Amino acid sequence: MDMTVIYALLVLGVLGGVFGLILAFASKAFAVEKDPREEAIAEVLPGANCGGCGYPGCAGYAAAVAAGKAATNCCAAGGDAVTAKISEIMGVKAEAGVKMIAQVQCTGGCRGHEKYEYAGIADCSAASRLPGGGPAGCSFGCLGFGTCEKVCPFDAIHVVDGVAKVDEDKCKACKKCIDACPRHIILLAPYKTKRHVAITCSSKDKGVVVRQVCDNGCIGCSLCAKACPKEAITVEKNLAVIDYDKCVGCGICAQKCPRKLITVDGKVPEVKPAAPKAAPAAAGAAKAE
């Protein structure tokens, strides 16, 4: 072998060794110590990496908590049990968070009012790119092709009879379905009362338009708002909206809604018959002496 090649190899070997030593020294000299609590928190997290906490995966959330930049009760998938463990690691008092669930603001009442027949890809995002934003007659209605169902990591949302339905027991409020819905008709709602009240409509059209494209969409009549004893409902842009800080779950609004779109614990309550009025006293009844 040519001596030039041998010398070149020797020089490269020496340089490689020198640079290796320099890198080894630098890795120790400039190493950033990792908070041991971060690793401990990561171990108690469920590993769903759903992003419901607002951080990029469980590792990102663990780092934020250990650094004091995030609360201990942000893990939607883990719930109160994980909150308690994280709080113990951080040496703070566990504060239970308000249970949140995804809520589909549509009853599917626009079925039968389609603008045209759709025969494309079974995907809401694809359908929404067509003229009119998709085949549904209501521009605020669920398209029903299951894009939200496909992205849910907890099997908590399914299309039933053409409209997305949330399994409240499985939902972990990870927001993936919310981000996936092209019509933006899914939102997070807090479960703060024993009976959860929901207005399952997103339409901001006027009542006369709603009646033409949906069998039970909100017409902005304000009967629910007038009936609410806590003033927890207002009508904004032709749509009834619940203030969950005021709502006590009485369900009176659901009883008054003429369109039967307000649900209590996921169901439309039966309207209670009005109490019979007392019979008037007989005319000419003798007065007591």
State the Cα–Cα distance between residues 138 and 146, nearest whole angstrom: 17
Q: List Cβ neighbours of 264 (8 Å cut-off, separation of 6 or more).
A: 195, 196, 197, 249, 251, 254
Q: List Cβ neighbours of 252 (8 Å cut-off, separation of 6 or more).
A: 227, 228, 229
Q: Is the dihedral of CA 59, 65, 69, 73 positive or negative?
A: positive
Give residue-wise pLDDT tens across range 103-159. Answer: 999 999 998 899 999 988 999 999 999 988 999 999 999 999 999 999 999 999 999
Residue type, 211: R
- Fold category of 192-271 in CATH: Alpha-Beta Plaits (3.30.70)
Looking at residue 285, its pLDDT comes to 46
Cβ distance 185 to 105 under 8 Å? yes
Mean pLDDT, range 61-73, rounded to an integer: 91
Domain ranges for the chain, please list them: 36-97, 102-191, 192-271
Cβ distance 140 to 204 under 8 Å? yes
Mean pLDDT, range 190-211, rounded to an integer: 91
102-191 has the same fold as 36-97: no
Looking at residue 277, its pLDDT comes to 56
What's the whole-model pTM score? 0.74
Architecture field, domain 102-191: 2-Layer Sandwich (3.30)
pLDDT at 56 over 90: no
- Fold category of 36-97 in CATH: 3-methyladenine DNA Glycosylase II; Chain A, domain 3 (1.10.15)
Q: List Cβ neighbours of 278 (8 Å cut-off, separation of 6 or more).
A: none
